[in-house]
Chain A
């Protein structure tokens, strides 16, 4: 089963994926799919606007390099600011999901 990524969590997922390694847009999508064991299917159409947004905010930095077949490809790296942001987002998310968990499993 596949699930669309919740509104607002896409940024967090991208940052998480980039915290593992520097990679290109496709790589990020692959990471998210793999880490969620194919449950989370991000819309490729919203991946790039999100990357653009994160880059503008200085949370990730993009670098043009060469792909394996000698074509131009853009590689993204998590910046220090992005790492700090990811940390606080992760905490918030854990609190939130634990709370939802508690509500949903009570009674």
Chain B
């Protein structure tokens, strides 16, 4: 900062410059200028080059304007300025000059457009992303694993996200990993034709937990449709996959072939009945499991290796390992979970999950007491 600047103005300017310099810091977990993937890096370098071109143009316009305003302010009522009507050379100059800058911007832009819209490699990790009001479903066909709201990715392995929406348009956006892409409800197609999905391709380059959220207005709780991307080492990722199948104990099957990897198909229901409870299990967990498995919860939710195989709400397998709750809007702990189960709409308006006073229809009614909700929470948090 120049000292000549008045204190207030100086500090105001600092306020704007410091964040730009410190943008790499973890202070801005959803920053668009802190690239941690190849995709984000391409965008960022393009942004930086365009930024300087625009600053150049801005400087020219502002300096010329300031010069004119100071130099040609009216000195006397009788000023008789020369009546100049135009100048062909100047007109050509300020048409061709900007046109050249445009070319300098368009060429790398189009290169980046093509570079970022093709699959990176054959063995990319495919994740099928489905947007729901107001949560995210992540399905890994390669492993037959389904999870929600926290996408796990191994570092340095290319990723292909196949994007689709189950209802309205959403947009997948984890800025640190790259730009956004809409999740469209894909129109039905005639037999034999391929549905047209949207895709995102990138390779995460740094491990960490990155924030993201829905970037296309999707209704009442659009603001509360966040997510996390957890980029971890290959070993951690493989361990997570393995524990997904082992989560409820001994009955873990081998991962099915990708081809028949539909959620719910993974396991015959009898397995759940056969499962023994853990040795020194908290009695609340057993109570919670009992309540959960015998209520409406399982109409929509699935837990791997149990009779809960609902496929229209977030898959709760390994729920206890999730960092956040209700699509990334609050910390995953027992108190928050209890609040959420009792009154989801109080936290997230228009959320689809019914609260505890849900009458149930053909399913057993919930009507849980708070004690019972605490037991269910304990059970869900024990799913690790």
Question: Do chains A and B stick together as partners?
Answer: no
B interface residue numbers (CB < 8 A to A): none
